Amino acid sequence: MEKLMTIWTDSGFYNLELGQALMMFIGIILLYLAIGKKFEPLLLVPIGFGTILVNIPGANFIDAPIYAADGAMLEAGGMMYYIYSVGIKSGIFPLLIFLGVGAMTDFGPLLANPKTLFLGAAAQFGIFGTVLGAVALNATGLFEFSVMEAAAIGIIGGADGPTSIFVASKLADHLLAPIAVAAYSYMALVPLIQPPIMKALTNSEERKIQMVQLRPVSKTEKIVFPIVVLIAVAMFLPAAAPLLGMFCLGNLMKECGVVDRLSDTAQNALINTVTIFLGLAVGSQMSAATFLSAETLGIIILGLVAFMVGTATGVLMAKFMNLFLKQPLNPLIGSAGVSAVPMAARVSNKVGLEANNQNFLLMHAMGPNVAGVIGSAVAAGVMISYFS
């Protein structure tokens, strides 16, 4: 009987606390959103599963000292500990994700219509505006965000998960879990968040604007562009070189046509493998002790505000540019200036088709969409360079 009691008192059911149960329930919700609603399933499945793992009583030792007893999954020296330390804390996983994203990106729409670069740049206003907002919240007494923490939170406004993780790992790694979850959640909710903002800031005539067909882009332009972008940006802002360098390398492998095997690996096997471990590592940081706090609520709210502001400023920039352009832009493509590739571009196309069933905006929206990826990498470089 004594041995049975020992087994019972050592079990997870006996030691389960309310906060751990709540976080496990949140993990199940993330799995439901991924599987049932298909919201970013490639990331929310491993994040949700990792959240359940880390909140099982007796298994949460990811922060334990290196001399802790062996055997538990999350002990220092265990699988989850090394996945987080090697992949997230070092910033390696976000860089490898950017390599794969670059290999899947087509800069053609941006090169065919360079004006859309301004839309991608304008959408980054949500990032910098939220940094000021996070600092301003300190005056309320409800939150206490340092400038470095505010900078890490602000990156959520770019709707770029890997960049958010990379910046958080450099400036505020203790906030990595809520920042990562907020960034990927808002990426997944693009089809719900963006349309009301787009419609509120445009009238029916603006939404019906049909744009002219894009010019063909030569292979030489596509090969030269990532090299020029890397050199031009990194020379002025070296802190942006890691993210932008991996992104441009992936794109160059795709466009040069002489390393198809490497490009295929980056687009498929590599990015898929890294995504599994990235999601588990993020989920492993969602313990009840660190996640259930007023600070996390503040991050979630500020992240939403940042994303909404980024969407709005992209649309407003397109409307402003139309004051000077002979061939007007459809303002809806400005919302694609956030970095959620290609979901934001698809939303622009969908809303455009609702206003005019002959209005195909997808390729036009891809211009500001990929510009937003570049813009978020540059913003990350600015934050790291200025605040670290």
Mean pLDDT of 232-246: 90
Tally of CB atoms within 10 A around 383: 26
- Lowest mean pLDDT: which of 64-73, 131-140, 191-200, 224-233? 64-73
Tally of CB atoms within 10 A around 161: 28
For 9-66, the three-class secondary structure string (H helix, E strand, C coil) is HHCHHHHCCHHHHHHHHHHHHHHHHHHCCCCCHHHHHHHHHHHHHHCCCCCCCCCCCC
> What does the block give as tokens for 51?
């959240």
Model's pTM, two decimal places? 0.84
Would you state the pLDDT for residue 8? 61
Mean pLDDT of 204-221: 90
Task: Quote the domain boundaries for residue 353.
Answer: 98-276+287-387
Rounded CA-CA distance 290/276 in Å is 22
Eight-class DSSP state of 194? H
Eight-class DSSP state of 173? G
pLDDT digit string (tens) for 305-338?
888 888 999 999 999 999 998 889 999 999 998 8
Q: Does residue 61 have a pLDDT over 50? A: no
Residue 136 within any structural domain of the chain: yes
Residue with tokens 């909140």: 55
Mean pLDDT of 227-245: 91
Mean pLDDT of 272-295: 83
Would you state the pLDDT for residue 184? 75
Residue 3 within any structural domain of the chain: no
> Which residues fall within 8 angstroms of residue 130, CB to CB, at 6 or more apart?
150, 153, 154, 156, 157, 302, 303, 305, 306, 309
Q: Which of 189-198, 201-210, 250-259, 279-288 has the highest mean pLDDT?
A: 250-259
Would you state the pLDDT for residue 332? 93
Phi, psi of 66 (to 5 degrees): -65, -20
Residue 90 within any structural domain of the chain: no
Tally the domains of the chain.
Answer: 1
Cβ burial 120-134 (10 Å sphere, 16+ → b, else e): bbbbbbbbbbbbebb
Residue 132 within any structural domain of the chain: yes
> What does the block give as tokens for 211?
């744009």
Residue 295 within any structural domain of the chain: yes
Q: Check if the beta carbon of residue 250 is closer than 8 Å to that of residue 265.
A: no
Residue 13 within any structural domain of the chain: no
Cβ burial 261-275 (10 Å sphere, 16+ → b, else e): ebbebbbeebbeebb
Residue 9 within any structural domain of the chain: no
Q: Does residue 345 have a pLDDT over 70? A: yes
Rounded CA-CA distance 155/383 in Å is 9
- Lowest mean pLDDT: which of 145-149, 229-233, 242-246, 367-371? 145-149
Mean pLDDT of 258-284: 92
Residue 66 within any structural domain of the chain: no
Of residues 204 and 173, more confidence is placed in 204
Which residue type, as a one-letter code, is found at position 37? K
Q: Does residue 359 have a pLDDT over 80? A: yes
Phi, psi of 108 (to 5 degrees): -55, -50
Q: Does residue 244 have a pLDDT over 70? A: yes
Cβ burial 294-316 (10 Å sphere, 16+ → b, else e): ebbebbbebbbbbbbbbbbbbbb
